[in-house]
Structure formats: structure tokens, C-alpha cells
Amino acid sequence: MKPLKFYLITDTHYFKNALGAFGDAYEEFMDGEQKCFAETQAINEAAFDYLTKATEADIILIAGDLSFNGEKESHIAFSKLLHDVQAKSGKRIYVVTAGHDFNEHPFAFNESGRIEPAGTKFSELYDFYRDFGYDSAIAFNKEHLSYVAQLADGVRLLVICNDIDGQKHIAYDDDFLSWIEAQAKKAQADGQMMIAMEHYPVLPGQPILALIGDAWQAESKKLVETLADNGVHLIFTGHMHNQSINEAVTEKGNRFYDVCTGSAIGWPAYLRLVTVQDEKTVEIESIPVPDFDWDKQGLDSKAYLIRQFERMIRGYLDSMANDTPRFMRKLHIKQSPAVEKILRMVGKKLNKMTVGQFAHLLLIRADPQIKNTLFVDFAVDIVRTLFEGNQPFVEGTPGGDTLLKAFRRLRPFVRHLKDAQGNELDFYETMKHTVGNYGIDDYNAVLKLSD
């Protein structure tokens, strides 16, 4: 087979700006949002203008959450944008839809507050995106809007969707797993390499995200084995808006990689350029989403997106101290006067504390280089870099050594930790590999799919 290149973008969350994204209610909503909202049309237009003109590949993969929240007008506008890319560049585009793409009650904002534009049913998605994978598929499962595409001589793409009409983020049943297995075995029989795309991460993007059920594919182990043990060793995902590359090995000894890419419209905002060198080697390169036309108050695009990300984190920490009921609603904590009182007290302390003072509470010493840093600023850096990938707080760094001492101190109190799918976790190892990356580079890597 000849080397094959393609671009990948995910979580475009296209929102037609004319629907409304302004006003006091909008600003309050954005206090808790990682991704941009009003700006998404401009960001997408810039990203797809870049992809239209880019010359290194003539294939584009889009890994789900195409619209902001299922607005019908957003789907109409986004599908037109994709048709324009095809017409201007001749590029082939393959999509997978996801939970944000079908919603009969989406929202927008104007000076009156929250409003509800027309929504989209799951059954309508086929007609919006039939030209971007479905109608050219060599195998198609309409119930799941899943399919197989021939990317090039020797390479097939398996696109799988864990939504069906009326249900989102479901575990794959035996019938659908059998369909996946049949497509993988047929690719092997035909002498074709197969790679995959799904919206949800199949492996948790970071270890701590395994605690959140919505952060990764339900009953992940079954899917990993179905894919890897039948020759599919690589999947491209999105959903969590984080930049990561993770590896697993099945009980049969087969390697499996999950390449998760940040959202196009929220920090970290990256595209991927993927080169399939041969059946055993795939190269991953990350490209920042290009500058977009918007009043960014003197900031470049990266700084503007980071500011929105940090606005979300600081907003949570501030509301813990100063608007505790809202903080509890955001984190789905059951309202209780006693819990509210404790959270408010903790929030006020944390918002004034330094890293050194926080360390003192745990009977450890913070590294002198960071002990006078405000705890809030340190926490924001930890959360932001968790999503950015290549987390810097590794052993041998001031922040890493301080955090590792804290995790060792807390370890005896968290002895029975399980992830959202019931797997036992070691608290110290989970936290160590959450704040520091000791594995694959999350941005640029050469993946060896098999020996």
C-alpha cells in the first residue's frame, strides 16, 4: 500500500450566530463553558478555509458533535459549509454524528434571555450528512449511522456511532458488536488495513477521566477487544475536548491506540494531520486551529481560547465560595444546607490560600519555587494542562514533586477507588499520570500498531 494522509477535526460545535448568542443570560452561561459559543461560526469558517486550501491531504475526518446543540439551522449551515469545501477543493469528507447533533430542545440567547430555536431529530441527521460518508459507504448500519469507507487502495475507515434514535451514549449490544467484527474480518479477508473513528473516547483521555461515565465509551473493554483482536488497532475520537494519545493491550496481546483530539472551538484547539505509512506505522501531527475573524480584544486566537477555558475554571472556584447553590447545581450535588455551608467555607479558604498553605494542611512542604503561588492559580494550571495533554507536573519538577507528596499523603484515605466501569484504580498512580505525562507525546507521535 502507498502512504495515505488525511486531516482530522472534531467537536466543531457549529452554531449559526444569527440564532442569538448575547445578553446577560448568555454571559452567565459562558461562565461555566470551556468552549466558545458566539464565535463558533467564525472559528469553523477559518478552520475549513484552511482545510480547503491545505495541500498535504485530500481527505477530512470529522469526529462528531458537528453542531453546538442540535439546532436545525446550524446543521443546515454546517452541511452547506462542508459542501462548499468539497466543491472548492475536491476533498472527501467523512463524519460521525454525536449527542450534541440531535436535540429537539436546543437553546440560544438574546436580550430577553434563553430562547429555543428549532431542533433536530436523530432521524434527520442522515439527510443532512448523507454526502459525507453515508451514501458512498461500502457497508452501512442506518440504526447507528455507522459505516465503512474505502479511504484508499489498502485502507478502510470504520465509523461507529454509539447513538440510536431516542438514545445517546449507549453500550454497543451484541448485534452491533457482531456487525463491527464482521466489517473488521472482511477488511482482513480483502487484504485491507482498517482504522476507526468514533466520537467518544474508547480509552479515557486522562486517568482521572475514567471516573466519569460520560467521558468514555460504555463497556469499553468489549469494544477494544472486538476491534484490536480483529485487526483494528487505531481509533480517532473527540468528545472530551482534550488532547491525548493512549495505548492498551488486549488479553490476546493486541495493541490498541486511541487518538483523542481537542475541540476546534475551545482550548485546546487543534487539527491532526495523520500519515498512514503502512499497516504497522501511523504518524500523528498536530496543527493549531488557525486564527479567526472576531473581536478578540487584542488577544491572539490561542490566548483568547485559553482565557475562555480559564474563565470556566475560575468561575467554578469563585462560585464555590460566593454562589454555592449554583456551584452545587453545576456539579449535580444534591442541595443541602449543611453541605452548602461546608462547601462555601472550603471555597473561601481555597480562594485565599497559597500552595504552601495548602501543603501545610496535608503536613507536607511545597517546593520553594511554588509555595507562594496562589492555590487557585496552581489549580487552574493543573486543570488546563490536563486537557492540553503532555501534562508538565512530572516527578523532578517543583509542581510535580509537590503534587506527588500530596497524593502519597492522601493515598491511605482513598483505598477503594473504582472507575465508572467498575475497574479497580490505584489512587496514587491515577493522580500521578493525570497531572504528568509519562507516556506517548499527545501532539506528535509515531504509533507502532504491531511488531
| Alpha-carbon distance values, 391 to 117, 207, 386, 439 (Å) | 39, 12, 6, 10
Give the model's pLDDT for residue 1.
Answer: 84
CATH 3.60.21.10-classified regions of the chain: 4-293
How far is 24 from 35, CA to CA, in rounded Å? Answer: 18
Reference 215, options 228, 197, 224, 202; nearest CA is 202
Question: How would residue 178 be classed by pLDDT, with cut points 50, 70 and 90?
Answer: very high
Give the Cβ contact number of residue 64 at 10 Å. Answer: 25
Question: How would residue 87 be classed by pLDDT, with cut points 50, 70 and 90?
Answer: very high
Question: How would residue 329 be classed by pLDDT, with cut points 50, 70 and 90?
Answer: confident
Give the model's pLDDT for residue 332.
Answer: 74
Give the model's pLDDT for residue 449.
Answer: 96
Question: How would residue 105 be classed by pLDDT, with cut points 50, 70 and 90?
Answer: very high
- Among positive and negative, which fits the CA dihedral 431, 435, 441, 442? positive
Q: Is the Cβ–Cβ distance between 197 and 187 less than 8 Å?
A: no
pLDDT at 330 over 80: no
Question: How would residue 328 be classed by pLDDT, with cut points 50, 70 and 90?
Answer: confident
> How much of the chain, in percent, has pLDDT values that exceed 70?
100
Give the model's pLDDT for residue 37.
Answer: 97
How far is 74 from 135, CA to CA, in rounded Å? Answer: 22
Looking at domain 4-293, its CATH architecture is: 4-Layer Sandwich (3.60)
pLDDT in tens, 35-83: 999 999 999 999 999 999 999 999 999 999 999 999 999 999 999 999 9
User: What is the residue-averaged pLDDT of the chain?
Assistant: 96
pLDDT in tens, 194-243: 999 999 999 999 999 999 999 999 999 999 999 999 999 999 999 999 99
Give the model's pLDDT for residue 138.
Answer: 97
Question: How would residue 9 be classed by pLDDT, with cut points 50, 70 and 90?
Answer: very high
* Strand spans (E) along 255-338: 255-260, 270-278, 281-288
> How much of the chain, in percent, has pLDDT values that exceed 90?
94
Which residues are CB-neighbours of 187 under 8 A, at least 6 positions away?
A: 148, 156, 158, 193, 194, 231, 232
Give the Cβ contact number of residue 90 at 10 Å. Answer: 9
Give the model's pLDDT for residue 184.
Answer: 98
Give the Cβ contact number of residue 167 at 10 Å. Answer: 10
Q: Is the Cβ–Cβ distance between 403 and 177 less than 8 Å?
A: no
Give the model's pLDDT for residue 334.
Answer: 86
